[in-house]
């Protein structure tokens, strides 16, 4: 028996409500884990002693900045997005060993699941896979996945939310000062164009070791040396009024050093304005200034965002940078945005 339009509408609403409750339950469980700060590495009372085998009262659960060694952590980015992260080290999940759930300010949820170096990105409401890729030698390579009926339409409709969530995750990982490596955001240039993107975009956001990052951006080491030299010069000269003034002077010295190289594939202090397809004069109103832009092979643009103080790369800045690069370098296939700080 076929359902009337009214009954069909009610059924769809009921299914949506159930799906929403399921997602809410998942977040409650995650938030409970965050509040408990369970620590699998917590010390136990030695065997043979009273209470042997029990958790030691002065053991774990005292992680810094709300983080325990089990990896549970919550971060709120500058744009209002919440990033809930959970790592399971001692008892790996059957499908993933690290999960990041990004809740945008409008409530949109996007889930990033890591299994080794393979990342699966899902729609947080339906669980539909939006993208899957593996990082190999600093390059995100696409992985095949089963696509549900109508999922390609969802993926295209969610592409904007996907890379906004990716940028928020980049911001959160950068804030956390992880010892596991540098946070990067890699995505295809087509994802930022106004036309429809591919059904299976290659997007990868996470922490990488310096060796992996330099495989994708070969001149990163050279840029790091220039930044460190600029910091040393500004410190030696003295006279900085405050942290902002110090940072401005470091940027200026580093930019001068890079400009003196006269290399079109490594440029500094390039300014762009949203809606315009060419570089703009330095300091023009409403412009976005890129610290260092590296054109790499094959067809990759790496943005090294210099930071000398407490501020972090924001999700808004990361997405705007990616959009500007896609518009001004249409021949590029891959965009990588990462933060760079002085090493001394």
Where residue 94 falls (left for φ over 0; alpha for ψ -120 to 50; beta otherwise) is alpha
In a domain, 248, yes or no: yes
Model confidence at 222: pLDDT above 90: yes
Omega prior to 47 cis, within 30 of 0: no
How much is the pLDDT for 3? 66
How much is the pLDDT for 27? 41
How much is the pLDDT for 277? 60
CA atoms within 13 A on the CB side of 97: 8
For 65-86, what is the mean pLDDT?
A: 72
Q: Which domain holds residue 254?
A: 213-340
Q: In terms of pLDDT, which residue wins out, 56 or 267?
A: 267
In a domain, 225, yes or no: yes
Q: In terms of pLDDT, which residue wins out, 38 or 181?
A: 181
In a domain, 82, yes or no: no
Which residues make Cβ contacts (< 8 Å) with residue 317, sequence separation at least 6? Answer: 288, 305
* pLDDT tier for residue 233 given thresholds of 50, 70 and 90: very high
Q: How far apart are CA 134 and CA 322, in angstroms?
A: 20
In a domain, 64, yes or no: no
Q: Please, what is the average pLDDT of the chain?
A: 73
In a domain, 243, yes or no: yes
User: From the centroid of its chain, how far is CA 176?
Assistant: 11
Q: How far apart are CA 275 and CA 278, in angstroms?
A: 9
In a domain, 189, yes or no: no
| Dihedral, 222, 228, 230, 232 alpha carbons, nearest 10 | -150
In a domain, 6, yes or no: no
For 288-296, what is the mean pLDDT?
A: 88
Q: Is the pTM of this model over 0.85?
A: no
For 150-172, what is the mean pLDDT?
A: 69
Parallel, antiparallel, or unpaired: how do β-strands 300-306 and 334-340 relate? parallel
How much is the pLDDT for 206? 83
141 beta partners: 134
For 49-69, what is the mean pLDDT?
A: 40
In a domain, 151, yes or no: no
Model confidence at 112: pLDDT above 90: yes
How much is the pLDDT for 339? 87
Of all residues in the chain, the percent with pLDDT exceeding 70 is 64
How much is the pLDDT for 41? 42
Compute the residue count for the chain.
344
Model confidence at 16: pLDDT above 70: no
> How many domains does the structure of the chain reveal?
1
Which residues make Cβ contacts (< 8 Å) with residue 155, sequence separation at least 6? Answer: 128, 130, 131, 147, 199, 200, 201
Q: In terms of pLDDT, which residue wins out, 273 or 270?
A: 270
User: From the centroid of its chain, how far is CA 201?
Assistant: 16
């Amino acid at each position: 028996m076929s359902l009337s339009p009214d009954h069909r509408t009610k059924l769809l609403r009921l299914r949506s409500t159930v799906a929403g409750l399921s997602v809410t339950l998942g977040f409650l469980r995650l938030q409970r884990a965050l509040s408990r700060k369970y620590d699998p590495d917590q010390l136990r009372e030695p065997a043979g002693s009273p209470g042997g085998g029990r958790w030691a009262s002065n053991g774990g659960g005292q992680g810094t900045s709300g983080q325990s060694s089990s990896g549970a952590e919550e971060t709120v980015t500058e744009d209002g997005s919440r990033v809930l992260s959970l790592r399971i080290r001692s008892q790996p999940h059957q499908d993933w060993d690290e999960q990041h759930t990004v809740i945008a300010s409008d409530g949109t949820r996007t889930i990033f699941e890591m299994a080794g170096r393979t990342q699966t990105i899902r729609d947080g409401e339906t669980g539909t896979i939006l993208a899957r890729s593996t990082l190999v030698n600093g390059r995100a390579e696409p992985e095949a996945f089963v696509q549900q009926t109508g999922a390609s339409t969802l993926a295209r409709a969610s592409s904007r939310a996907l890379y906004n969530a990716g940028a928020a995750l980049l911001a959160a990982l950068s804030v956390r000062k992880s010892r596991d490596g540098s946070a990067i955001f890699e995505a295809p240039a087509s994802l930022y164009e106004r036309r429809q993107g591919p059904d299976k975009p290659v997007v990868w956001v996470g922490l990488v070791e310096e060796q992996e990052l330099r495989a994708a951006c070969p001149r990163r080491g050279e840029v790091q040396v220039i930044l460190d030299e600029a910091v040393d010069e500004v410190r030696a000269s003295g006279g900085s009024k405050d942290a902002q003034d110090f940072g401005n002077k470091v940027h200026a010295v580093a930019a001068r050093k890079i400009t003196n190289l006269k290399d079109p594939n490594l440029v500094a202090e390039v300014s762009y304005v949203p809606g315009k397809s060419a570089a703009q004069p330095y300091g023009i109103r409403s412009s976005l200034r890129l610290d260092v832009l590296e054109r790499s092979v094959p067809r990759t643009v790496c943005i090294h965002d210099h930071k000398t103080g407490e501020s972090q790369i924001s999700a808004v800045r990361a997405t705007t940078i990616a959009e500007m690069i896609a518009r001004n370098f249409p021949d590029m296939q891959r965009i990588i945005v990462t933060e760079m700080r002085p090493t001394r």
